């Protein structure tokens, strides 16, 4: 996963006037294909880059539901609601909870999309503790006290999880080859003095990685920070719950799209979309189909995933690992 987003503000050449540059923006709008008067859900509002483009297409009769768990994103969403060219409903919740709630309400949509992971705004706010290049309290919670999930800060994780759990988390969610050494160093060092800041954690990690390997694959803390961020926010659990809940609200002909930034996310999106586009699942040696299963969706576009153009990758390095996938509902199975 060396391709993961570099959660390092110094790696990023962001436009000065934009808190977050939307990735694969035109491609996402083309995939969701919003039409005037339709209803669409943006599961990850952020700074509203994708939402602004979709809102233009929906027009005054259209409805855009925007979801985020981050208080700063939600402030922007409220301002967006006041000025958007379509009707806007703001939902402050983790996206899995939001879609489950919408489904329970009997809400129907023509499209929904996710732009997964964190925003540049979150990295840039040093006090949130996402960046390993800035010393700050070790927090990493995207949602601060959101009702749907009681998140534990990264400081609590490194203070309380045992070495085995830390090793498994750093190894699996960060794909860090020195996970065992880092986990043992955390447990040893926290007994000496609590690890409560990003700076101290970076120091502990850096010293745990053998000197020749320290900067061989980017910053030595990059993979551990990614693992802690994913764990703290239950990012993979959220995706696993949100995709079927979002699919549940999509009407016939409606579209679901997702942009992922690393293989752990993309694998989930790919697997779920494949389950929707798959027809018969009978063993190949059966002469006739007995499962009766027909595809619920078809892939949008000629390729199963879309990557940013070389120009976008050059102008926005954060986009490099992005992959966009989308499906269209072709029939309801219920």
Ligand X SMILES: C[S@@+](CC[C@H](N)C(=O)[O-])C[C@H]1O[C@@H](n2cnc3c(N)ncnc32)[C@H](O)[C@@H]1O
Residues 130-189 that bind ligand X (CB under 6 A): 142
Select the residue interacting with ligand X from 27, 33, 68, 176 (CB under 6 A): 68
DSSP for 153-188?
PHHHHHHHS-HHHHHHHHHHHH--TTHHHHHHHHHH
Select the residue interacting with ligand X from 27, 110, 115, 176 (CB under 6 A): 115
Residues 77-96 that bind ligand X (CB under 6 A): 94-95
Query: Burial code of 213-248, b = ≥16 C-beta within 10 A, e = fewer?
Result: eeeeeebbbbbbbbbbbbbbbbbbebbebbbebbbb
Query: Burial code of 106-120, b = ≥16 C-beta within 10 A, e = fewer?
Result: ebebbbbbbbbbbbb
- Min separation Cβ 105 and ligand X, Å: 18
Residues 28-47 that bind ligand X (CB under 6 A): 44, 46-47
The residue nearest ligand X at its CB is 46
The answer to whether residue 7 forms part of the interface with ligand X (CB under 6 A) is no
* Residue (142 or 228) nearer to ligand X, CB: 142
The answer to whether residue 328 forms part of the interface with ligand X (CB under 6 A) is no
Residues 12-31 that bind ligand X (CB under 6 A): 20, 22
Angle between helices 179-192 and 198-208 in degrees, nearest 10: 130
Single out the segment in contact with ligand X by CB under 6 A; choices: 9-17, 62-70, 166-174, 285-293: 62-70
Asked if 190 and 206 count as a contact pair (C-beta separation under 8 A), the reply is no
User: Residue 98 and residue 67: Cα distance in Å, rounded?
Assistant: 7
The answer to whether residue 74 forms part of the interface with ligand X (CB under 6 A) is no
Give me the residues that bind ligand X (CB under 6 A), please.
20, 22, 44, 46-50, 67-70, 73, 94-95, 115, 117-119, 142, 238
């Amino acid at each position: 996963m060396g391709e993961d987003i570099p959660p390092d503000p110094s790696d990023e050449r962001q436009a000065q006037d934009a808190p977050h540059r939307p990735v694969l923006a035109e491609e996402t709008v083309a995939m969701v294909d919003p039409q005037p008067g339709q209803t669409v859900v943006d599961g990850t509002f952020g700074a509203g880059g994708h939402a602004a483009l979709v809102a233009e297409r929906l027009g005054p009769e259209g409805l855009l539901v925007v979801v985020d768990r981050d208080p700063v994103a939600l402030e922007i969403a409220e301002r967006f609601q006041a000025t958007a060219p379509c009707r806007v409903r703001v939902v402050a919740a983790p996206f899995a909870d939001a879609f489950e709630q919408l489904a329970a309400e009997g809400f129907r949509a023509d499209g929904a999309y996710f732009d997964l992971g964190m925003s540049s705004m979150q990295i840039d706010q040093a006090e949130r503790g996402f960046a390993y290049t800035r010393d700050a309290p070790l927090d990493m919670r995207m949602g601060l006290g959101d009702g749907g999930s009681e998140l534990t800060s990264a400081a609590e994780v490194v203070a309380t999880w045992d070495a085995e759990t830390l090793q498994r988390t750093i190894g699996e969610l960060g794909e860090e080859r020195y996970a065992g050494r880092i986990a043992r160093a955390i447990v040893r060092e926290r007994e000496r003095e609590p690890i409560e800041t990003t700076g101290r954690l970076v120091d502990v990690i850096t010293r745990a990685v053998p000197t020749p390997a320290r900067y061989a694959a980017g910053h030595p803390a990059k993979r551990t920070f990614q693992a802690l961020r994913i764990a703290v926010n239950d990012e993979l659990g959220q995706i696993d719950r949100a995709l079927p809940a979002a699919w549940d609200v999509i009407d016939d002909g409606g579209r679901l799209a997702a942009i992922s930034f690393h293989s752990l996310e993309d694998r989930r999106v790919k697997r779920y979309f494949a389950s929707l586009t798959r027809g018969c699942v009978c063993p190949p040696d059966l002469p006739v189909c007995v499962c009766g299963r027909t595809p619920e969706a078809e892939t949008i576009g000629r390729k199963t995933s879309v990557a940013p153009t070389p120009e976008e990758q050059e102008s926005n390095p954060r986009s490099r690992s992005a992959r966009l996938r989308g499906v269209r509902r072709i029939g309801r199975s219920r």
